[in-house]
Amino acid sequence: MSASISICVPAYNAARTIDATIRSILDQDVDVEVLVLDNATRDGTADIVRSFHDPRLRAARNDEMLSIGDNWNKAVALSSGELVKIVCADDLLRPGSIEAQAKVMADPMIALTSARFDVIDETDEIRESDLGIPGLEGLHPPRDLIGTIVRRGPADFGPTAAAMFRREHFDRVGGLRGDLVFPMDVDLFARVVTFGMFFGMPERVAAWRDSTFNLCSRTSSFSKLTDMMRFHHRIAKDYPDLVSSGDVIAGDVRLARAALERLSVRSRELLAGLRD
């Protein structure tokens, strides 16, 4: 692997999981920079990070808490690798994943790679396996990736930890757009892939944690749906030659169905509460 690699771990009150996250990265026998950015946490996260004595690990800390978008952008800005992965402080990397993805990215025509992933619970047990990159295995042009993300949504595509991209492309698009919290990562992927090709790997490279304490679980369904709707229309406006009106309509219909389903569930819960 000739290119340098940075694994960026933005962390906020991650004491329950960050030890496992860092170990899943450092246990891989690869020469990487692991940059952990502590977002002014107060739960012992910093102490756990300092307990690692590995020359590959570099820790930084914000004096004041930043927004999630600003914190992720700062983590990448502080890193020095040509290739970058962002791994949330409650997710895991699978053994051999960094080396496997770096080999894919050795081809300069590939701007982004991602792969399949598992869903784990708060105790690291697998709930679902072999998810992600629907219909996107192998080499694909940007149109395929962006269209799939718009039609299917970020959950079907996969977590940030499953992807690897180039720092130069991250800088060229201006980093993450933090006003889109839930689809912030796939919005980045859609923009950086316009500089090359996408390669979907069939291997499972990461595990996304479904827990009661991560940002996804603490974000309302309405906020997620609103963010996704904004993402669909913004990315279509930014790249009209890569996103069709059919993609946007399909994505919006999916969101409308999800909203109706959520409303139906809430109505049933309310009625059940009234009966009790």
Q: pLDDT tens-digit profile of 40-92? A: 999 999 999 999 999 999 999 999 999 999 999 999 999 999 999 999 999 99
Look up the pTM and report it.
0.91
Write 23-29 long-range contacts (CB < 8 A, 24+).
24/92, 24/93, 24/94, 25/87, 25/93, 25/98, 26/52, 26/54, 26/56, 26/57, 27/95, 28/93, 28/95, 28/96, 28/97, 28/98, 28/99, 29/99
- Where helices occur in 173-213 by DSSP H, the ranges are 184-192
Over residues 148-158, mean pLDDT: 90
Over residues 130-153, mean pLDDT: 95
Q: pLDDT tens-digit profile of 159-206? A: 999 999 999 999 999 999 999 888 999 999 999 999 999 999 999 999
Q: Which domain holds residue 57?
A: 5-275
pLDDT reported for residue 223: 80
Over residues 119-132, mean pLDDT: 93
- CATH number for the domain that contains residue 18: 3.90.550.10
Residue 179, phi then psi, degrees to nearest 5? -75, -15
Q: pLDDT tens-digit profile of 232-245? A: 999 999 999 999 99
pLDDT band, very low/low/confident/very high, at 262 (cuts 50, 70, 90) = confident
- The answer to whether 90 and 25 are in contact (CB under 8 A) is no
Total domains in the chain come to 1
Pick from 262, 122, 235, 105: nearest CA to 177: 235
